[in-house]
Amino acid sequence: MSATTASTSPPAESSGYRWLALIAVIVGAFVAILNNSLINVALPKLTNVFGSTTDRIQWVLTGYMLASGVIIPISGYMGDRLGYKKFFIISLGVFTLGTLFCALAWSDTSLIIARIIAGLGGGVIMPISMSIIYKIMPREQIGTALGLWGVSAMVAPAVGPTLSGYLIELFNWRFLFIINIPVAVLAIVLVSVLLKETETVKGKAFDTWGFLLAATSAGTLLYALSNGQSKGWTSFEIVALFFVSFWSLVFLLWVETGKKDPIIDLSLFKNFTYTLSIIAASLVTIGLFGGVFLTPIFLQNIQGVSPIDTGIILIPQAIAMAIMMPIAGRLFDKVGVIPLGLIGLILMSIMTYELHRLTVDTPFAWLETVLAIRGIGIGLCMMPLSTAGMNAVAPQQVGNASSLSNLIRQVASSMGIAVLTALMQQRTTLHAQHIAESVSETSVQYFQSILGTSTMSSLGGIIQREAMAWGIADTFLISSLPLFITIPLVLLFKKRKKAPEVQAS
């Protein structure tokens, strides 16, 4: 009983301690996210270095993602059992060790194994860090704290591509991992020195069956979503994975119902505000990640922009998000989720919709402006939508709530990328057919007689480039739909002022 009681409110520490501890948590979260964003644009380079294939080197990302998805469900249990500080340090240590092995890799196989090790540590860093914030900060300052913490989640993916390009161009691929090691070590030192241990829950049994079923369901689903496009959505392998994932989820729900210490606490879904927050954040994540992967494809494959310059073009959006998230955090503590969510979602939805106007000749200035305004919207709405749900959860459930919400968002991001990639390719193929049909046979013969056969061979490339631009524009239009759908959902949030007062007393 004492452990539960102690965990219901933040310790009576000084304000200085809380903010110093928050800095340590933010550094740890930043390095984990930066690591992945550095690797995304470096896959072609790694393919050449190791003489590997595109499908095989893709496991550098897939292995990390699967390890993260499998390990996330245990973050709440391990934090309660060992203490959140200790488990955070262990996670950072495993992540650092895996990253060091990545830097020393001598083959694609060794690199993939090292990334899986890093994923086992890195996968729980975000849910654990969020839980720690709820352990150390009073509820009236949670919005501000999570706003600062959220900067790492938003800025690292934007900085990563540019930094990755410079590292590969000026040094070599090993620095993609070496650069993370001192930051990760710094995070371990800061957490060890600045953060005090949380209360532990003694005698809490480990839910073995729940963990195995949750890991199986999440792992098979994430793998199917990430490989469905390349292997074929109707292929036996992908269909079988969806089958296993579905029935693992069904058995998980059956096993966890009524259990005393479940690995997945289904009672959280009885909380309307938390469930609404999960749904809204998942829809926004789908729309957000649509832009994250579509914009680099448009710039590099259609406009011929280098990875370094792509990152530079994306910097205004990152700056906008970095500025707005702390502001949104402070405003959230004063005005709540509804006004921030509405304004942010309206900006994000309209600007994502505006990106359906992209063409082959779209000016960089227009794109940077639209993305920057979109970044303001993201910064305003993302953190409040998540925080509103977490604030509605009982303090002793924060660990499980954080791990569950992070797992669902990871699935939502993978699902969004998978679905939008399939739509982009489908629309590109359709537009290519329409463009080709619109070019009459007489016109083709005329241009061939003037330009010659060799030049005409590039006509197909021009058609494909134009079709891909239209396909990406259509996909941006579709990705704006879940954002528009979320706008009325925000109105369902209700301010609950009494609950925090009761918990703090």
* Domains 12-201 and 264-505 alike in fold: yes
Domain boundaries, the chain: 12-201, 208-258, 264-505
Q: Is residue 93 over pLDDT 90?
A: yes
pLDDT-derived band at 489 (thresholds 50, 70, 90) equals very high
Tell me what pLDDT residue 163 has. Answer: 78
Tell me what pLDDT residue 346 has. Answer: 94
**Which tops the pLDDT comparison, 128 or 142?**
128
Q: How far apart, in Å, are the Cα atoms of 254 and each of 63, 136, 248, 251, 289?
A: 29, 35, 10, 5, 32
Q: What is the CATH architecture of 12-201?
A: Up-down Bundle (1.20)
Q: What is the mean pLDDT of residues 281-307?
A: 80
Q: Give the CA dihedral 34, 38, 43, 48, nearest 10 degrees.
A: -140
Render pLDDT for 209-250 as a digit per residue (tens, 0 to 9): 888 888 898 888 888 887 887 788 888 888 999 999 999 999
pLDDT-derived band at 347 (thresholds 50, 70, 90) equals very high
329: enclosing H helix or E strand: helix 307-335
Long-range contacts of 242-245 (CB under 8 A, 24+ apart): 244/216, 244/217, 244/220, 245/216, 245/217, 245/218, 245/220, 245/221
Q: Is residue 59 over pLDDT 80?
A: yes
Homologous superfamily of the 264-505 domain (CATH): MFS general substrate transporter like domains (1.20.1250.20)
Q: Report the predicted TM-score, pTM, of the whole model to 2 decimal places.
A: 0.81
pLDDT-derived band at 495 (thresholds 50, 70, 90) equals low
Q: Is residue 439 over pLDDT 70?
A: no
Q: What is the mean pLDDT of residues 387-399?
A: 83
Taking Cα atoms as reference points, which of 41, 73, 29 lies closest to residue 165? 41
pLDDT-derived band at 147 (thresholds 50, 70, 90) equals confident
